[in-house]
Amino acid sequence: MKIKLKFGDATATFLLSPTHPKTPHYKKTKDGDIIKFRRMIKFDKSLREEQLKKDSDLYVKLLDSDIEYDLNLTGKIINRTYRIKLDKNFKPVYKYEKFDIRIKPDGKLEERKHKIRVSNIKQELPVVISEKAISYPDFIKRYVLKKSYNIIHEDEGNFDLIYNLAKDLHEKQQLRQIFAFNEETLKPEPLIITHEGTLYNLAFLQGIVDNRRYCLRLLLSDMELRWEPKI
Amino acid sequence: MARKIKLKFDESLVEFSLRKISKSKIYGERRIEYRLNGEVLENAKITTDGMHILPKSSIAQQYVNERNEYTSISEIIYTDPDGKELPQYESHFNKEIMIEVFELSNFFNFQTDDIYLMEVEDDLQSSLRNFYEKCLKYFNEGKLIKTTYAFRKTPFPKNMVFIPKDNKIIICVGDFRGPVFNESKINIDELISQLDEENLDEELLEMW
């Protein structure tokens, strides 16, 4: 992944790498057999259809019914599957409309036509590093650090640019807020790292330097550090 | 009340449970609905050979060995890529856990998976208050408290970080990873110093 950042007058593209990749490991038995996590079929739509025909007291009817699992099918190991949509008759539907449904905390329901979340970190308009800064304790008390990435220089010519930024942040012990812009409205919008990915409303940069080495991190948050009232 | 965790600090013991803080309860919930002529469609899967349409909850997942035989989780040994067995950490419910103090700047090595509110029984409120004051004292000194989080026996335990806020303690559960430093592979200053060499023009003009 790449991010296009604007530093003062300069604009440069950098690599993004997750700070918390999964720990590589294997699963084995005591005898040395390799263990795999496999998916198996329990039943397919034919059985589901029979179950759903009984529209009321489904649970009771299922218990009393003589519906049987297809023993030739149950337990069949499957590898890859594709996502599809089914109508009420269990027929695949290929052309459909997508809607975003939002349920507010007060229970109100809102809906709109689905708006595609397009990644906005490597578009024509760069992500801007603002002058807005926050101290370490302030960030910890206010926001939840949900995801972070290392920002790495790709082009040797950008090394000084990124090193100096990390050094400045390290010396001031501050985090600098960054903003992405919507290319149509030209207004700031939450950072979207991947296509149809999470909206990160708050994004900051943190820098650490050690001699001529740097670590510049993109810190992402999608919620404040607070709790809902106990009901 | 949920299962309790026993946390030891100084000579005191605080017994607490975790109440999950859900983002959807604070900000609301968002989901995508698929419709055809007003009818809401159901998500399903189809196998690559197109033979089976698999509606919701029609797929089971299981650990199997090389002969595709069921293997219980308790029989599994976790190893690193070199084949060395990874140690297992006991669940935090089965023992008293100890606190560890770390510098506030190291908090940014952390990534949060879940957040919880620390809760104690009504008669143990004083122990919570003592712990809150301790957390706050460390926080004002630029430090935070953490401990190991292992819901069940696991080779990959997480961490709990205690954040004091408005007389409550918020627990962030997640993972710490140290910073990864990057450096320049080429010393540009050294390259620039070469430009001052006298015979540079001759070298550049030399045709090979």
The pLDDT assigned to B146 comes to 93
Q: Which residues of A touch B48 (CB under 8 A)?
A: 79-82
Check whether B173 has a pLDDT greater than 60. yes
Phi, psi of B80 (to 5 degrees): -85, 175
Average pLDDT, chain B: 87
What contacts 24+ positions apart, CB below 8 Å, involve B44-47? B44/A45, B44/A83, B44/A84, B44/A85, B44/A86, B44/A92, B45/A81, B45/A82, B45/A83, B45/A84, B46/A81, B46/A82, B46/A84, B46/A92, B47/A78, B47/A80, B47/A81
Give me the total of CB pairs closer than 8 Å, taking one residue from chain A and one from chain B: 261
Where residue B170 falls among pLDDT bands split at 50, 70, 90? very high
Q: Between the CA of residue A35 and those of A195, A202, A211, B70, what are the distances in Å? A: 33, 40, 45, 10
CB–CB contact B59 A82 (8 Å): no
Q: Which residues of A touch B76 (CB under 8 A)?
A: 27-29, 35
Single out the residue of B114, B27, B104, B146 nearest to residue A146, CA to CA.
Answer: B114
CB–CB contact B185 A103 (8 Å): no
**What's the gap in Å between the CA of A96 and the closest CA on chain B?**
5
Q: Which residues of B touch A34 (CB under 8 A)?
A: 65-66
Where residue B190 falls among pLDDT bands split at 50, 70, 90? confident
**What's the gap in Å between the CA of A206 and the closest CA on chain B?**
8
CB–CB contact A103 B64 (8 Å): no
DSSP state of B70: B
Answer whether A100 touches B (CB < 8 Å).
yes
* Longest CA pairwise span in chain B (Å): 89
Check whether A68 has a pLDDT greater than 80. no
In three-state secondary structure terms, B128 is: helix
Does residue B34 contact residue A96 with C-beta atoms inside 8 Å?
A: yes
The interface predicted TM-score (ipTM) is: 0.85
CB–CB contact A101 B31 (8 Å): yes
What residues of chain A, 74 to 93, have a C-beta less than 8 Å from chain B?
A: 77-88, 90, 92-93
pLDDT in tens, B55-75: 888 888 989 988 888 888 888
Q: Which residues of B touch A104 (CB under 8 A)?
A: 28
Pick the CATH number of A2-23+117-221 from 1.10.10, 1.10.3910, 2.40.290, 2.60.40: 2.40.290
DSSP state of B91: P
Residues A105-126 have a mean pLDDT of 89
pLDDT in tens, B100-118: 999 999 999 999 999 999 9
CB–CB contact B54 A96 (8 Å): no
What contacts 24+ positions apart, CB below 8 Å, involve B18-23? B18/B116, B18/B117, B18/B118, B18/B119, B18/B171, B19/A227, B19/A230, B19/B116, B19/B117, B19/B119, B20/B114, B20/B115, B20/B116, B21/A226, B21/A227, B21/A228, B21/B115, B21/B116, B21/B117, B21/B170, B22/A228, B23/A222, B23/A223
Angle among Cα A70, A74, A76 to the nearest 5 degrees reads 130
Q: Which residues have C-beta within 8 Å of that of residue B38, sequence separation ≥ 6?
A: none
Tell me the pTM. Answer: 0.86
User: What are the residue boundaries of the structural domains of chain A, listed by start?
Assistant: 2-23+117-221, 42-75
Full DSSP string of chain A: -EEEEEETTEEEEEEEEESSPPPP-EEE-TT-PBPEEEEEES--HHHHHHHHHS-SSHHHHHHHS-----TTTTT-EE--EEEEEE-TTS-EE-S-EEEEEEE-TTS-EEEEE-------SSSSSPEEEEEEEEEHHHHHHHB---EEEEEEESSGGGHHHHHHHHHHHHHHTEEEEEEEE-TTT--EE-EE-STT--EESEEEEEEEEETTEEEEEEEEESSBS--PPP-
Q: Which residues of A touch B109 (CB under 8 A)?
A: 19
Chain A interface, best mutation among B111, B139, B143, by max A CB count within 10 A = B111
CB–CB contact B21 A228 (8 Å): yes
pLDDT in tens, A160-184: 889 999 999 999 999 999 999 888 8
The pLDDT assigned to B56 comes to 83
CB–CB contact B65 A34 (8 Å): yes
Where residue A50 falls among pLDDT bands split at 50, 70, 90? low
Out of A35, A101, A222, closest to residue B63 by CB = A35
The size of chain A, in residues, is 231
In three-state secondary structure terms, B124 is: helix
